[in-house]
């Protein structure tokens, strides 16, 4: 009973924290924090948190029990303080994975026995290598009403062994993500720390109603492809109030790869990214380059970036097809950034030689406003595709200062408007900003 009361108090405190923003604009209400009637501890299933005992089987047993009991209101699986070594395991519907303060779920370094799964249909193969891919450390497929939360507990992918395999070119299949949900809905991830992912950290793919809030994502700056959060062919995704420092894009919105993404035809839409702080040698907030299913209706606002390669990055390529449209970046601060803005039509490789060279992507209606940067080496470049110029690009109140002075903007195959931009952008963006598509930005 004491145990249940303590967990209840912790959950109640978490609810208060999640509502503390009060007057702040938020999209997190899409997936509420739910109270679970039943509480189980991972120790009830023989788990030992000594950092040496492998607990894959206890995690699998616990989730099997939760799945088959089907308690009304769902079940909370409590992970107490300790280091809980484990291999990959799957979650189930109507459950909360709760990490207490001092709890660490740590991935085993035994890569040879790591489970494999089929490639994603919108990618046609593993992202790094042909064939299948390694299953994520924590995985969910076809589930709903799932919460991963706690008191700043840690999920540690121990990615160093995977990064070394990548560097040595000894990988057999594509590296595992840290967390991945497929074909799932009503997912909430909050108040946890994710670190040292083997590959991408959080990957919701073919999902809807996903909230990621109050998370910290960490990986060394030289760790390969450790994207922070990658919404992929997903809708109604809310990412807020988080800190990310990784070796690749902090957030990258995707929707499939070349002919496979075109055929699968599942866009990413209704994505909101708000009050995010972070650092990356690559990109801050990115769209693409795998966007063959289309990306639309994206709002990115109140972002702080430092020590980053490219602040705002929209990237695609001939052969991708699809579209990137109705995108808004607002209130972005940058410090020590190599390039402030890049919108490019020549980024990304192809899964194989079967891609259609006539599948030309469309980039249309991108608004970038209220952006301030210092120590920016180059303000930006917008380089469209000759046969498909980027259209309705709107820059308003974008001020990117270099040291000692900026190099100029670079633009090709683009049309749009600009107002209050320093240094002044390219001639292609000097259209009438007081009417038409760009007027709503002012």
Q: Which two tokens stand for residue 44?
A: 């009830």
Point out which residues pair with 327 in neighbouring strands: 298, 366
Closest CA to 28 of 320, 267, 319, 275: 275
CA distance 80 to 102: 8
Q: Which of 186, 227, 248, 258 is catalytic?
A: 248
Side-chain-side CA neighbours of 126 within 13 Å: the count stands at: 21
b/e per residue, 224-233, with b = 16+ CB within 10 A? bbbbbbbbbb
Cβ 271 vs Cβ 299: under 8 Å: yes
Residue found by looking up tokens 């803005």 in the block: 341
CA 237 – CA 212 distance, rounded (Å): 8
**Contact (CB, 8 A) for 302 and 272:** no
Q: Is 232 a catalytic residue?
A: no
Where b means 16+ CB within 10 Å and e means fewer, 264-275 reads: bebbbbbbbbbb
Closest CA to 179 of 151, 156, 209: 156
Q: Are 85 and 52 contacting, i.e. CB atoms less than 8 angstroms apart?
A: yes
Residues noted as catalytic: 248
């Amino acid at each position: 009973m004491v145990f249940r009361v303590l967990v209840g108090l912790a959950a109640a405190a978490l609810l208060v924290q999640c509502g503390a923003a009060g007057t702040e604009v938020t999209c997190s209400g899409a997936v509420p924090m739910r109270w679970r009637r039943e509480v189980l501890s991972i120790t009830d299933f023989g788990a030992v948190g000594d950092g040496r005992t492998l607990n894959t089987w206890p995690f699998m047993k616990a989730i099997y029990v939760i799945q088959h009991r089907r308690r009304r209101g769902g079940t909370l699986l409590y992970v107490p303080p300790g280091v809980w070594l484990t291999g990959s395991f799957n979650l189930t519907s109507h459950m909360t994975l709760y990490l207490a303060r001092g709890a660490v779920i740590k991935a085993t370094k035994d890569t040879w026995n790591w489970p494999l799964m089929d490639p994603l249909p919108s990618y046609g193969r593993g992202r790094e290598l042909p064939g299948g891919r390694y299953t994520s450390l924590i995985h969910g497929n076809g589930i709903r009403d799932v919460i991963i939360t706690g008191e700043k507990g840690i999920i540690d992918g121990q990615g160093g062994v995977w990064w070394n395999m990548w560097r040595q070119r000894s990988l057999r299949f594509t590296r595992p993500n840290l967390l991945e949900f497929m074909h799932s809905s009503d997912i909430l991830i909050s108040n946890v720390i994710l670190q040292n992912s083997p590959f991408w950290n959080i990957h919701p793919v073919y999902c809807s109603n996903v909230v990621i809030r109050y998370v910290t994502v960490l990986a060394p700056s030289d760790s390969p492809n450790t994207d922070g959060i990658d919404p992929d062919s997903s809708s109604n995704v809310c990412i807020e109030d988080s800190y990310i420092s990784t070796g690749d894009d902090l957030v990258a919105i995707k929707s499939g790869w070349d002919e496979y993404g075109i055929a699968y035809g599942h866009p990413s839409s209704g994505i909101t990214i708000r009050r995010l702080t972070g650092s990356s040698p690559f990109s801050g907030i990115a769209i693409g380059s795998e966007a063959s299913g289309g990306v639309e209706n994206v709002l990115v606002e109140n972002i702080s970036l430092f020590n980053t390669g490219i602040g705002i990055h929209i990237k695609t390529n001939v052969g991708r097809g699809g579209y990137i449209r109705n995108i808004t970046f607002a209130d972005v601060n940058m410090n020590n950034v190599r390039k402030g803005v890049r919108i490019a039509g020549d980024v990304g490789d192809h899964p194989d030689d079967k891609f259609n060279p006539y599948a030309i992507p469309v980039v249309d209606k991108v608004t970038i406003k209220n952006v301030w940067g210092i120590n920016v080496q180059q303000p930006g470049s917008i380089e469209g595709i000759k046969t498909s110029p980027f259209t309705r690009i709107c820059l308003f109140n974008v001020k990117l200062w270099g040291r000692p002075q900026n190099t100029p903007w670079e633009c090709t195959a683009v049309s749009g408007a600009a107002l209050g931009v320093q240094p002044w952008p390219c001639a292609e963006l000097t259209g009438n900003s007081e009417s038409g598509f760009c007027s709503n930005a002012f």
